[in-house]
Amino acid sequence: MHSYTRAESRQRGKLFRKGFRQALADCVDPAVERKIQAIDQSAAERGRRELDALHTVRETDRQAVAQAKAKVRTASREDKAAARQALRDAEQQLKRSERAVDKAERQ
């Protein structure tokens, strides 16, 4: 996964167009290719860190769902409704974090 900043996207686009024009003229400057590779490398590193963070959030949410299920099972009759609502909220948060991880892994 690559995670480009706006500045990196603009710079990479400019360099790509410059390299394309140079390729048409058959005189490609290797400095352009090195700059593009450097931008890609930093974006890949940033993307890896963001994906690791998303995995951590997902695991935390899974743990929260497990704890909420335990509270539902151990709740008294008066507290059961609140525990079920907390479980539903935890499950919704888990679904959001799983969608975010799946989307990030597809890119």
Mark 26-51 as b/e (b = at least 16 C-beta within 10 Å).
eeeeeebeebbeebeeebeebbeeeb
What is the per-residue pLDDT for 89? Answer: 97
Confidence of residue 65 (pLDDT cuts 50, 70, 90): very high
pLDDT digits (tens, 9 = 90+) for 4-61: 999 999 999 999 999 999 999 888 889 999 999 999 999 999 999 999 999 999 999 9
The pTM of the whole model exceeds 0.85: no
What is the per-residue pLDDT for 107? Answer: 80
